[in-house]
Amino acid sequence: MSAQAAEKDLAVVIGLEVHVQLETATKIFCGCSTDAADGEEPNSRTCPTCLGLPGSLPVLNEAAVEAAVKIAKALDAEIPERTTFHRKNYYYPDLPKNFQLTQYDAPICADGELEISVEGMRRTIGITRAHLEEDPGSLEHVGGGIDTADYTLVDYNRAGTPLVEIVTEPDFRSPAETRAFLAKLEEVLEYLGVFDPERDGSLRVDANISMVSGDAVAEDGRIDERALSAANRTEVKNISSHKGAEKALAYEVTRQRNAIRRGREIEQETRHWDEARGITVSMRTKEAEKDYRYFREADLPPLAVSGWRDRIPIPELPDARRERFREEYGLDAESASKLTSTKEVADFFEDVAAEFDPDLAATWVADNLLGELHYRDMEITDVTDRLEEFTRLIELVDAEEVTVKNAEEVLLRTMLDEGLAPDEIVDREELGKTEGEAVAAAVTEAIEEHPEAVEDYHAGEGGAINFLVGQVMQKTGGSADPGDVNQLLRDRLDG
Ligand SMILES: Nc1ncnc2c1ncn2[C@@H]1O[C@H](COP(=O)(O)OP(=O)(O)OP(=O)(O)O)[C@@H](O)[C@H]1O
Ligand SMILES: [Mg+2]
Ligand SMILES: [Mg+2]
């Protein structure tokens, strides 16, 4: 096969290892706070256990195990009878003990899946396993990047933060698929309430990528096992966003294709994603598993965990909820998707929909409220405790006590900007619909002030009535109902 033909037939193979920081109050093996990442004094959130001092002993955090069980259930995975912990030995300054407490042959979660949709195509990504482990400390490279710094500082505040590492099968066929997967995974984790996406570094990805011959791809998209293990893969580290994953992998695809075109071997190695430069840089040859000298952590007994599955409930997940919203409330795909973007939005919508017609509730939550919140850089969680006020607003519109226009442009905006309740704003801004008399007076005025428009109207010019409606609306400060005004004008002009 010529080099060119080989290049043309290459298939991209990608598998991800996703590290998720679990949102627990304390660390996984000690009682230190996990607030560490948020600007605390370096090394202030530490104790003998997370510093790995001699004689200290780990105690497993129940909340971290519960979070992992929720993740296993959401990924439709198996939870074993017993789960155990191992030491993974390596020497690097982010690990004070020179080993990381992690799981090896009995992880808490195995054999799951997550469905994604890319450009309308549904794909199922296999989840090989997910295991609990401790986050290492963080390094600050001073005076340059990881490969050029003058010196490096270490902060162990992060050391011991609970992580779940989710390892996928090498099922991705393109960088775009990894982005869709990470977005979907993050959505699920947020619904489960085990993860805070706002936290710096709460989701970190290692992306493994190789090229195999197109012949190795079976009909169903699976790749021949032998081709997989024969292919040299690179593992790209330091990816911290969905977009970052897509970009780093797109770079790697090009780099590997070019190398193969020039007849060069792909090295099996670990590479570093340099976000600023938009390139990956070689760091070291990839460790083999035997390098880690895994052995059982004798200080942590095996945990009988299979019974936890029934004890720990999980909420309805985003896909199921979207589907139910369409059926139960008759929403279109777009509204259903907007209204399930986070669990909090979906809960808020359902509370509103319990009081009103679902269409009305959907318009007010999906279009008006979310739009105004977005414009102000606010979240639904900023208004969840104002549900009652928001329903009062819709009630005012529904009872035709204020016009839709005023409710949207004055009421809602003032509620958000000034934190006032709807009735207070109605009083202050005199938004109550203009009484019949005031509207009638404005109609008379408009007719008297614009004889030319009246003439045009009688001559059959369609635009004239709209002009007059506009005049009346202006005189009443927008508080009259345009449909009513239109009818009033016609009655007067025709009569
Ligand atoms: N040929 C391949 N091309 C691309 N990805 C692959 C290939 N073979 C395996 N992978 C992926 O590599 C990842 C292996 O992750 P795993 O954590 O099991 O091992 P590791 O990377 O060797 O260990 P470590 O946790 O120390 O990085 C999986 O996501 C898997 O899908
Ligand atoms: Mg791994
Ligand atoms: Mg790896």
Rounded to an integer, the average pLDDT of 403-428 is 89
Distance 267 CA to ligand 1 centre (A): 15
pLDDT at residue 5, rounded to an integer: 46
ipTM: 0.96
Rounded to an integer, the average pLDDT of 33-62 is 89
**Higher local confidence (pLDDT), 3 or 261:** 261
CA distance 494 to 332: 42
Q: Is residue 168 lining ligand 1, measured as CB closer than 6 Å?
A: yes
Rounded to an integer, the average pLDDT of 277-291 is 83
Going by the DSSP 8-state scheme, the letter that residue 386 receives in this structure is G
Q: Is residue 235 lining ligand 1, measured as CB closer than 6 Å?
A: yes
Distance 246 CA to ligand 3 centre (A): 17
Helices (H), 143-276: 175-192, 225-230, 242-261
Q: Give kind and range of the element (H or E) at residue 234.
A: strand 234-239
Distance 208 CA to ligand 1 centre (A): 6
pLDDT digits (tens, 9 = 90+) for 315-331: 999 999 999 999 999 99
- Residue 284's pLDDT band, with cuts at 50, 70 and 90, is confident
Going by the DSSP 8-state scheme, the letter that residue 223 receives in this structure is B
Could you tell me which of 267, 159, 154 has the C-alpha nearest to residue 210?
267
Total-model pTM: 0.84
Distance 438 CA to ligand 2 centre (A): 73
- Residue 14's pLDDT band, with cuts at 50, 70 and 90, is very high
pLDDT at residue 1, rounded to an integer: 42
Atom of ligand 1 nearest to the CA of 231: 1
Structure tokens at 230: 């024969």
Q: Which segment of 178-192, 283-297, 334-348 scores lowest on mean pLDDT? A: 283-297
Residue 335 clears pLDDT 70, i.e. is over it: yes
CA distance 370 to 376: 10
Q: Is residue 13 lining ligand 1, measured as CB closer than 6 Å?
A: yes
Domain residues of the chain, as ranges? 3-311, 318-429, 436-494
Is residue 253 exposed (0-12), middle (13-18) or buried (19+ Cβ within 10 Å)?
Answer: middle
Q: What one-letter code names the amino acid at 422?
A: P
Rounded to an integer, the average pLDDT of 302-308 is 94
Going by the DSSP 8-state scheme, the letter that residue 341 receives in this structure is S
Average pLDDT, the chain: 91
Region of 9 please: left (phi>0), alpha (psi -120 to 50) or beta. Answer: alpha
Could you tell me which of 57, 70, 55, 56 has the C-alpha nearest to residue 24?
70
Residue 248 clears pLDDT 90, i.e. is over it: yes
CA distance 332 to 330: 7
Region of 330 please: left (phi>0), alpha (psi -120 to 50) or beta. Answer: left
Atom of ligand 1 nearest to the CA of 17: 29
Atom of ligand 1 nearest to the CA of 227: 1
pLDDT at residue 447, rounded to an integer: 92
| CA 5 vs CA 14, 214, 219, 335: distances in Å | 22, 11, 21, 47
- Phi, psi values for residue 26, rounded to 5°: -125, 170
Distance 204 CA to ligand 3 centre (A): 12
In DSSP terms, 206 is beta-bridged to 17
Q: Which segment of 2-11, 125-134, 300-309 scores lowest on mean pLDDT? A: 2-11
Q: What is the CA radius of gyration of the chain?
A: 30
Rounded to an integer, the average pLDDT of 248-253 is 97
Q: Is residue 208 lining ligand 1, measured as CB closer than 6 Å?
A: yes
pLDDT digits (tens, 9 = 90+) for 49-85: 999 999 999 999 999 999 999 999 999 999 999 999 9
Do the strands 151-155 and 138-142 form a parallel or antiparallel pair, or are they unpaired? antiparallel
Q: Could you give the count of Cα atoms lying within 13 Å of 425 in the half-sphere of its Cβ?
A: 24
Measure CA 448 to chain center.
59
Q: Is residue 125 lining ligand 1, measured as CB closer than 6 Å?
A: no
pLDDT at residue 36, rounded to an integer: 60
Could you tell me which of 306, 303, 313 has the C-alpha nearest to residue 78?
306
pLDDT at residue 38, rounded to an integer: 60
- Residue 477's pLDDT band, with cuts at 50, 70 and 90, is confident
**Higher local confidence (pLDDT), 375 or 481:** 375
Rounded to an integer, the average pLDDT of 428-455 is 82
Pocket test for ligand 1, best of 20, 104, 167, 226 (most atoms within 8 A of CB): 167
Angle between helices 462-475 and 436-449 (to 10 degrees): 130
Q: Is residue 131 lining ligand 1, measured as CB closer than 6 Å?
A: no
Domain 436-494 architecture: Orthogonal Bundle (1.10)
Q: Which segment of 25-39, 102-116, 142-156, 376-390 scores lowest on mean pLDDT? A: 25-39
pLDDT at residue 401, rounded to an integer: 84
To the nearest whole percent, how much of the chain has pLDDT over 90? 75
CA distance 297 to 49: 14
Residue 263 clears pLDDT 50, i.e. is over it: yes
Rounded to an integer, the average pLDDT of 18-43 is 89
To the nearest 10°, report the CA torsion of 253, 259, 264, 266.
Answer: -30
